[in-house]
Structure 1
Amino acid sequence: MAAPAAAPDTGRGTYIQPIIAGALAAIVGYASTFTLVLAALTAAGASPQQAGSGLFSVCIAIGILNIVVSWRMKIPVSFAWSTPGVAFLLTVGEPVGGYPAVAGAFLVAAALIVLAGLIKPFARAIAMIPAPIANAMLAGMLLTLCLAPIHAVGEMPWLALPVLLAWAIGLRFARRYAVPIAVLVTGVLLATTTHLPPGALNGTWSSVVPVLPVFTFDAIVRIGIPLFIVTMASQNLPGLAVMKANGFDLKPAPLFIMTGIGSALTALFGGHSINLAAITAAICAGPEAHPDSTRRWPAPMAAGVVYLLLALAANLAAAFIAASPPLLIQAVAGLALLSSLASALSGALAQEESRLPAILTFVTTASGITIVGVGAPFWGLVAGIGLMLILHFGVRPAPTTTAK
């Protein structure tokens, strides 16, 4: 895995910015879909205790992977749960064999992810995604979240405007800390305006319930294989593209193997797939985490610590986040990602010969379409690479002439 050469350390202060960025990424990732995770596992046949155990185990695994991998590699590679996979689970219902069969299907999907890492031609093909296409797909993924600050101003101006103003003032006088200042203001606003409903802290989400897997043909065909395809196409491929767009050329095979093993372990406690992060990875790996790309690796470590805390304090975290306006949390993330969106658009449109394929990738990804259960980022890649092949297949580059 390649990254720019490290710059000399200038002290502890240099890590404040990536730590805050990582914490924001974890809060955004958790707050956006933790209720969806619980609903999806329940829809697949899990009891409330099993669903809570699945969420707990996935948070622990994500936290450990973020901390260990980033610390060892000194690269801001981020991990998350499979949000497209969760959305898919909501549609399949409970299979024959109940939730133990679902756990068996989760294990099959995890084994297939490991196998994808062991098949070298597959990993090499993923690494060959053209940079303009990767940047365009990243821009399309970020667009919706980057619009959140504007939507928040329209829907809740009394909360969003102070955050936006704090961010703008930070840009003017302390550019590096503009996003942390906005996060601080958001935290103060939420702490003073959020009221937990009675009984919000009751429940057993933080308990661990082992699930003995059962392997059935129905669950493997309906859940295991589709979950593998959705996770690879809608999470792992975009995750690699996000890292590539930010200047980090990763070797995908070891990452697939690690996430597959992690997914297998969480399946034993009711958890679904773990994979490379995509949108939240842009917060940790982008310029807002730190202007120097070699100093961004603490961001996923901070995200990992927050995931562990969210898992251990699941009742309090879930209740507080559920009672907070989700659009305001998304708005802060959108502010943090504006620089990444600008960089991705610049990289996507820099080369004239790939501009139209890149634009096609951008609009397809931004459309949010889902076809056969696979999300828009994958189809954005297919559309952009397909058009690029059509435009350039069999076309020889113009001969260069040497002045005499």
Structure 2
Amino acid sequence: MNNVFRISHLSAGFIAVLVGYTSSVAIIFQAASAVGATPAQLNSWMWALGIGMGASCIGLSLRYRSPVLTAWSTPGAALLATSLSGLDMGQAIGIFLFSSLLITLSGVTGWFQKLMQYMPRHIAAAMLAGILLRFGMDLFIAMQSRWALTGIMFLAYLAGRLWLPRYTVPVALAAGSIAAVALGLVHTDTLSWAIAWPEFTMPRFSWQALLGVGLPLFVVTMTSQNIPGLAVLRANGYQTPASPLISWTGLTGLVLAPFGGYAFNLAAITAAICMSPDADPNADQRYKASVWAGTFYLLTGVFGASVVALFAAFPKELVAAIAGLALLGTIGNSLSAALADEHGREAALVTFMATASGLVLLGIGSAFWGLILGMTVHWALCGMRRRSRPTI
């Protein structure tokens, strides 16, 4: 029973959900507003997203005994916020169904897993480090505006490392929460609770909308979310099969798209929190942190958009600081794995720097381009080494 209710599992799951919601929920609102969503429809979107992420997190983590964390597509939401203008809700739902169908087919056919088998571990680790670097740096950027709050959290983190290493992150979160209340930084005046209800919308399909928005939504979700998400699993030593994970996220989207579940995919940044040694020193037990994250996602789905007010009550600096502290160990381990092999070091550095740069080309984010550039260097150098070997 203690293993089920270990506070480090619960804390990692809560922080993952906290970071996931506070970092991008505003983009979801913008996307819904672009198609004129009513308050009831917005609540339905949040219900569908919470229920979908919660059910898939819990189901996949228990099935594979790996910390599988799913999420909504943040780049996809940004794409929708800028591309749905002029379309109605029925057309938007048609776009969601089309993209989810393509994701499902990608998983069922197995091409995605075959592609990922060619990714060396040092490239995956370098991409993960590049993705997470900004979050580690945000910890120190937050000190500029809220030095007292983040300073207390940093000192609590050090104290936890010395005396309670298993509970370092929960200690920092508790200290930050107490400090935020003491400093008057928690705003509870706008809190309100209400049960959210799903609202079905009949989809409408037009080839212009499917090709102009649906296909880019699929591409962005796969390249900017699922590839990094699977790389996080691989970089942390989890060999969970890719095809079932992709298939189930796509199927979840097919079921929940009519209610506003626009895209589900593997998480990368929030998943790294649940895969951290702070979640559990035993890597085989970290899946329980993802189960707790799924439980919190289910709660956010039940209460829908009302839960957003709870997350908004926390100062953004607290969220940035706890995310950075929770990811320090993962960033360090990823860099170590990326640079350990002397022959793969140059390709890993290219992957890391390109990913961390924030490069965007053709509307596709830096994680994808970091992977492409790093793999290009990796295969080029491998070919050069083979040609330079002396023949016997």
Q: 1:89 Cα deviation (Å)?
A: 1.1
Cα separation, partners in 2 of 1:112 and 1:95, compared to 1, 3 Å: farther
1:15 and 1:298 in contact (8 A); partners too: no
Q: Deviations over 1:164-223 (max 9, x none)?
A: 111110111111111110111223234453454755538x78232211111111210121
Partner of residue 84, structure 1: 75
Find out whether 1:30 has 2:15 as its counterpart. Answer: no
Q: Which runs of 5+ in 1 are unaligned?
A: 1-9
Q: 1:250 Cα deviation (Å)?
A: 2.1
Q: Secondary structure at the match of 2:201?
A: coil
Q: Secondary structure at the match of 1:80?
A: strand
1:245 to 227, 235, 240: 235
Cα separation, partners in 2 of 1:338 and 1:214, compared to 1, 3 Å: same
Q: Secondary structure at the match of 2:71?
A: strand
Q: Distance in 1 between matches of 2:42 and 2:4?
A: 40
Q: Secondary structure at the match of 1:215?
A: coil
Most deviating of 392-401 and 104-113 = 392-401
1:75 and 1:296 in contact (8 A); partners too: yes
1:301 to 282, 291, 302: 291
Partner of residue 279, structure 1: 269
Find out whether 1:335 has 2:321 as its counterpart. Answer: no
Q: Distance in 2 between matches of 1:400 and 1:154?
A: 60
Most deviating of 113-122 and 307-316 = 307-316
Q: Deviations over 1:19-71 (max 9, x none)?
A: 21111111111111112111122124433322221122111110111112112
1:127 and 1:251 in contact (8 A); partners too: no
Find out whether 1:67 has 2:41 as its counterpart. Answer: no
1:159 and 1:328 in contact (8 A); partners too: yes
Identical counterparts, % of pairs? 37
TM-score by length of 1: 0.91
Cα separation, partners in 2 of 1:191 and 1:271, compared to 1, 3 Å: farther
1:112 to 96, 102, 107: 102
Cα separation, partners in 2 of 1:121 and 1:257, compared to 1, 3 Å: closer
Q: Deviations over 1:264-294 (max 9, x none)?
A: 1221102210000000110111222111101
Q: Distance in 2 between matches of 1:177 and 1:201?
A: 31
2:8 and 2:279 in contact (8 A); partners too: yes
TM-score by length of 2: 0.94
Residue identity matched to 2:298: L
The 5 A counterparts of 1:135-284 are: 135-192=125-182, 193-196=184-187, 201=192, 206-284=196-274
Q: Distance in 2 between matches of 1:393 and 1:177?
A: 46
Q: Secondary structure at the match of 2:259?
A: coil
Find out whether 1:320 has 2:300 as its counterpart. Answer: no
Cα separation, partners in 2 of 1:385 and 1:256, compared to 1, 3 Å: same
Partner of residue 133, structure 1: 123
Find out whether 1:39 has 2:24 as its counterpart. Answer: no
2:79 and 2:217 in contact (8 A); partners too: yes
Partner of residue 3, structure 1: none
Find out whether 1:16 has 2:7 as its counterpart. Answer: yes
Cα separation, partners in 2 of 1:399 and 1:172, compared to 1, 3 Å: farther
Q: Distance in 2 between matches of 1:197 and 1:295?
A: 35
Q: Distance in 1 between matches of 2:314 and 2:299?
A: 18
Cα separation, partners in 2 of 1:92 and 1:183, compared to 1, 3 Å: same
Q: Which runs of 5+ in 2 are unaligned?
A: none
Q: Distance in 2 between matches of 1:338 and 1:61?
A: 29
2:143 and 2:151 in contact (8 A); partners too: yes
Find out whether 1:382 has 2:379 as its counterpart. Answer: no
Q: Secondary structure at the match of 1:268?
A: helix
Q: Distance in 1 between matches of 2:186 and 2:126?
A: 40
Partner of residue 7, structure 1: none
Partner of residue 47, structure 2: 56
Residue identity matched to 1:17: S
Q: Distance in 1 between matches of 2:195 and 2:3?
A: 36
Q: Distance in 2 between matches of 1:179 and 1:197?
A: 24
Q: Deviations over 1:384-404 (max 9, x none)?
A: 001112222253274799xxx
Cα separation, partners in 2 of 1:11 and 1:197, compared to 1, 3 Å: closer
1:22 and 1:302 in contact (8 A); partners too: yes
Partner of residue 124, structure 1: 114
Q: Deviations over 1:314-339 (max 9, x none)?
A: 45531132233212212101101100
Cα separation, partners in 2 of 1:351 and 1:262, compared to 1, 3 Å: same
Q: Secondary structure at the match of 1:41?
A: helix
Q: Distance in 2 between matches of 1:238 and 1:350?
A: 20
2:132 and 2:327 in contact (8 A); partners too: yes
Q: Distance in 2 between matches of 1:315 and 1:282?
A: 25
1:56 and 1:205 in contact (8 A); partners too: no
Residue identity matched to 2:74: T
Tell me how many residue pairs correspond in the alignment.
390
RMSD of Structure 2 on Structure 1 (CA): 2.1
